[in-house]
Structure 1
Amino acid sequence: MTSVAEAGAAQPDSVAPEPGEPTPGARSGRYGSTSLRVGAASIWLSVIVLLPLAAIVWQAAGGGWDAFWLAVTSNAAVESLRVTLTISAGVTVVNLVFGLIVAWVLTRDDFPGKRIVDSVIDLPFALPTIVASLVMLALYGPASPIGLHLQHTKWGVGVALLFVTLPFVVRSVQPVLLELDRETEEAAASLGASNRVIFVQVILPALLPALLSGAGLAFSRAIGEFGSVVLIGGAVPGETEVSSQWIRTLIENDDRTGAAAISIVLLVISFVVLLVLRTVGSRAAKREELSA
């Protein structure tokens, strides 16, 4: 008769998981079922994002394709889109440069009041955008204390958009700068590379994905911005009237189908820009990993 000890010895030994490999049941036991998490995330995404998007698409399609096309190709709509896209593109480029500089200073330099400056960067996230417009009007309006009158000008709209979109670039680049390997920079410097060469060939390729991601977020925020430009811009047709203000005008005139149509155009532009920039950024990150 086989003893209990022999029976236990005859059983195959359990194979210990490799280091870093999750133990059986860890996926569902420790943090709950994967399917449950996916289901909860899908429901929340549907309620918060997909349903509102579906509703606005349905409203835009309510008048048919002809009504949609007339709404997005009207002279006022085209002019507002032109103003929106040109100013937003310029703002994004400016914030790419100065956002990188601000992020660099916050991560590489020490100076009095650094924590205060770091906190101020997030102020546009917390500040109501209409308050930002009031601030801009007080600073650059007819009674400007610095003698700079930008109300009802494209420059005024641009300054307002610079204010609300700067944090997107800074906060996208700052974590990557903190994680960069300083030894690589020191090695390049020891081999005689100049600061410019080190930045262009060592630092910038590593920052490119984050820069593109921040640029996409800043651009998408700029083309949909309303509150910060409503007072300083003045909605001058063909000059300072951005698409969000034209949408408000359509709603006030009870043209909800036309307003929804312009909104769809802005959504598509934002989605395409984000998709393209993030795809380019992902490919750049993969090339950087392969070269490393």
Structure 2
Amino acid sequence: MADSSRVLPGFSLSLGYTIFYLSALVLIPLGALVLKTAQISPDELWKIITDPIVVSAYKLTFSASFYAAAINAVFGLILAWTLVRYSFPGRRFFDALIDFPFALPTAVAGLTYANLYLKDGWIGGLGPNIVGGVNWLSSSLGGGQLISTTALDWLTFPFTGQTSGIVAVLIFVSLPFVVRSIQPVLQEWDPEFETAARSLGADRFTIFRRVIFPEIFPAWFSGFGAAFARSIGEYGSVIFIAANIPGKSQIAPLQIVTKLDDFQYAAASAIGVVLLIVSLLLLFVINSIERFSRRHERAA
């Protein structure tokens, strides 16, 4: 007699479908990428991935992705804490707004940031206007030029196609990963543990550091890793705000597109494999930390 409690088909059929689905969508495409790269000789492969322009693109991609993920790790925690712990007008709206980067095409985000923060943008252009206005007022009062042109770099909004602009758009596209990883854990957290710690004389910082943060650390770190991995592969938003100068402000995904435009498919695959290996190692580290944390909780 069949088990009526089963909603889905039996284990064999479900497992077979799962393997087929994951193989068609993940394993086979990734395997094809590796096989395409394997067509290159080891010397040629090493020459491609160690090319100074490619190395510079890797450095920019990994550093900007790390900065964006680290910033989101801090402020994403604050956002998740605020949305879970406090009631205020418009909370549902702001909670829904967190998912906006998922729905918005990343190219639109990059175009928006470029129109706002580049030197000729609405906000980025405030620096020259401020300098010009102050100097004009000073000249009208007989004081001459008050602010030198060298001070313009300090007054111009720093999103001028360099790393800061890239980090800004990566923060935008990766923020939901941190917030949505932490929120469920905070929602299930029992505030009575905080009350007990407070009754024992612990201050707020000690309660957060010794009681709350160890419980949310696996989710927090998982969100950080997901944001980092997401930022590594971002392309659509970055190309609109980066200067895209080879060797200076060109990201690794743009290097892949450049190689494809030049019909260098094997070289593009080689660059992609490096990004793939880094992402897989990152996911392995995250999963290892989560398993360690769960074993530690069970032992405790």
Match of 1:260 in 2: 269
TM-superposition CA deviations, 1:83-123 (whole Å, max 9, x none): 11111111111111001000000100111111111111001
TM, length-normalised to structure 2: 0.86
User: Of 11, 26, 35, which residue of structure 2 is paired with 1:49?
Assistant: 26
Per-residue deviation, 1:216: 1.1
Distance 1:90 1:30, change over 3 A: closer
Match of 2:45 in 1: 68
Give the AA of the match of 2:217: L
Q: Is residue 34–residue 273 contact of structure 2 (8 Å, CA) maintained in 1?
A: yes
Aligned partners of 1:43, 1:27: CA distance in 2, in Å? 26
SS of the equivalent of 2:263 reads coil
TM-superposition CA deviations, 1:35-72 (whole Å, max 9, x none): 10000011000111111101111111122222222111
In the alignment, is residue 97 of structure 1 matched against residue 74 of structure 2?
Answer: yes
Q: Is residue 64–residue 163 contact of structure 2 (8 Å, CA) maintained in 1?
A: yes
Match of 1:3 in 2: none
Aligned partners of 1:30, 1:218: CA distance in 2, in Å? 34
Aligned partners of 2:48, 2:4: CA distance in 1, in Å? 50
Match of 2:59 in 1: 82
TM-superposition CA deviations, 1:166-213 (whole Å, max 9, x none): 110000000000011111111111111111011001100001110111
In the alignment, is residue 110 of structure 1 matched against residue 87 of structure 2?
Answer: yes
Per-residue deviation, 1:28: 8.3
Structure with bigger gyration radius: 1
Give the AA of the match of 1:190: S
Question: Which residues of 2 match residues 237-256 of structure 1 at below 5 A?
Answer: 237-256=246-265
Per-residue deviation, 1:30: 4.1
In the alignment, is residue 192 of structure 1 matched against residue 169 of structure 2?
Answer: no
Q: RMSD of aligned C-alpha atoms?
A: 1.6
In the alignment, is residue 180 of structure 1 matched against residue 189 of structure 2?
Answer: yes
Q: Is residue 158–residue 164 contact of structure 2 (8 Å, CA) maintained in 1?
A: no
Distance 1:30 1:86, change over 3 A: closer
Aligned partners of 2:48, 2:5: CA distance in 1, in Å? 51
Aligned partners of 1:221, 1:88: CA distance in 2, in Å? 8
Aligned partners of 2:6, 2:169: CA distance in 1, in Å? 50
Distance 1:184 1:28, change over 3 A: closer
Give the AA of the match of 1:277: I
Q: Which runs of 5+ in 2 are unaligned?
A: 127-156
Match of 1:171 in 2: 180
Match of 2:165 in 1: 156
Q: Is residue 52–residue 247 contact of structure 2 (8 Å, CA) maintained in 1?
A: no
Q: Is residue 157–residue 232 contact of structure 1 (8 Å, CA) maintained in 2?
A: yes
Q: Is residue 67–residue 258 contact of structure 1 (8 Å, CA) maintained in 2?
A: no
In the alignment, is residue 216 of structure 1 matched against residue 225 of structure 2?
Answer: yes
Q: Is residue 115–residue 121 contact of structure 2 (8 Å, CA) maintained in 1?
A: yes
TM-superposition CA deviations, 1:269-292 (whole Å, max 9, x none): 00101111221122123323433x
Aligned partners of 1:96, 1:128: CA distance in 2, in Å? 23
SS of the equivalent of 2:237 reads helix
Q: Which runs of 5+ in 1 are unaligned?
A: 1-23
Distance 1:97 1:149, change over 3 A: closer
Give the AA of the match of 1:270: S
Aligned partners of 2:247, 2:72: CA distance in 1, in Å? 24
SS of the equivalent of 1:211 reads helix
TM, length-normalised to structure 1: 0.88
SS of the equivalent of 1:26 reads coil
Aligned residues: 268
In the alignment, is residue 33 of structure 1 matched against residue 42 of structure 2?
Answer: no
